[in-house]
Amino acid sequence: MSLFDLSGRTALITGSSQGIGFALAQGLAAAGAAIILNGRSEEALTAAAKQLQDQGASVRTMIADVTDALAIRAAVDRLEADGIDIDILINNAGIQRRKPLEEFEIETWSELMRTNLDSVFYVSQAVARHMIARGRGKIINIGSVQCELARPTIAPYTASKGAVKNLTKGMCADWAKYGLQINAIGPGYFATPLNRALVEDPKFDSWLKSRTPAGRWGNVEELHGAAVFLASDASNFVNGQTIYVDGGILSVI
């Protein structure tokens, strides 16, 4: 089991004050990692950090907007200058906007792409430069089953997550030679704040449960295993892959 031990390693998780990001922080902390929570709200980050600390985790926070390339680079460089090596990066920050594509506003499209796609490049590049110098590092991008599927009213989200999947492969192509492993997790439908509107829609809830072989929504804790695997030495020869944690939804028509 030492292959999965994250003791002595530090993980930066973007968008981690709640939802999937916070759950991933809990999972990596339980495996021994020190955690850096990231978000834009100091209040939310402080509350999340206290909850993790109460569970015995080593936690610090990094208030930074991941859609601001210069700000995120400066924040990462400050941590590294203070002697905090970022061994693991999870690019989790993301938003959802629902509207028929013909009515989708240009600025909303740009906002979604900045958050879901541009930030993955900005943060990964800022962190990877330090990882490359050390000759090691793990980057995990959070995709979605929408890397592969589309549904009405979320075409821009689908486009952003499809791009994250291929950006993961591109990062592998450029950075694997330096000792980095870059992979992605593609969650299915989980009961999170991002999906609240769907969870509370009886028609969609019924459709999803009938469409998913497991017959239910996912629990965020069920992402811990994939995250720990990809963050640990157990995945040292796994690169450029997307692992779907979806209850089987991609396996059936």
3-state DSSP of the chain: CHHHCCCCCEEEECCCCCHHHHHHHHHHHHCCCEEEEEECCHHHHHHHHHHHHHCCCCEEEEECCCCCHHHHHHHHHHHHHCCCCCCEEEECCCCCCCCCHHHCCHHHHHHHHHHHHHHHHHHHHHHHHHHHHHCCEEEEEECCHHHCCCCCCCHHHHHHHHHHHHHHHHHHHHHHHHCEEEEEEEECCECCHHHHHHHCCHHHHHHHHHHCCCCCCECHHHHHHHHHHHHCHHHCCCCCCEEEECCCHHHCC
Burial 23-48 (b: 16+ CB within 10 A, else e): bbbbbbbebbbbbbbbbeeeebbeeb
pLDDT band for position 195 (50/70/90)?
Answer: confident
pLDDT band for position 44 (50/70/90)?
Answer: very high
Q: 119-139: per-residue pLDDT in tens?
A: 999 999 999 999 999 999 999
| pLDDT of amino acid 193 | 78
Q: Does residue 175 sit within a domain?
A: yes
Contact 185, 243 (CB under 8 A): yes
Annotated catalytic residue within 122, 157, 189, 244: 157
The average pLDDT across 57-69 equals 97
Q: Does residue 38 sit within a domain?
A: yes
Q: Is the pTM of this model over 0.75?
A: yes
Q: In whole angstroms, give the CA distance from residue 194 to residue 179.
A: 34
CATH number of 201's domain: 3.40.50.720
Q: Does residue 74 sit within a domain?
A: yes
Does the active-site annotation cover 244? no
Q: 161-176: per-residue pLDDT in tens?
A: 999 999 999 999 999 9
| pLDDT of amino acid 253 | 78
Q: Does residue 251 sit within a domain?
A: no
Residue 12, both tokens: 């930066």
| Sign of the CA dihedral with 209 first, then 212, 216, and 219 last | negative
Q: Does residue 154 sit within a domain?
A: yes
Q: 77-102: per-residue pLDDT in tens?
A: 999 999 999 999 999 999 999 999 99
Structural domain boundaries, residue 189: 2-244
Q: Does residue 70 sit within a domain?
A: yes
The tally of domains found in the chain comes to 1
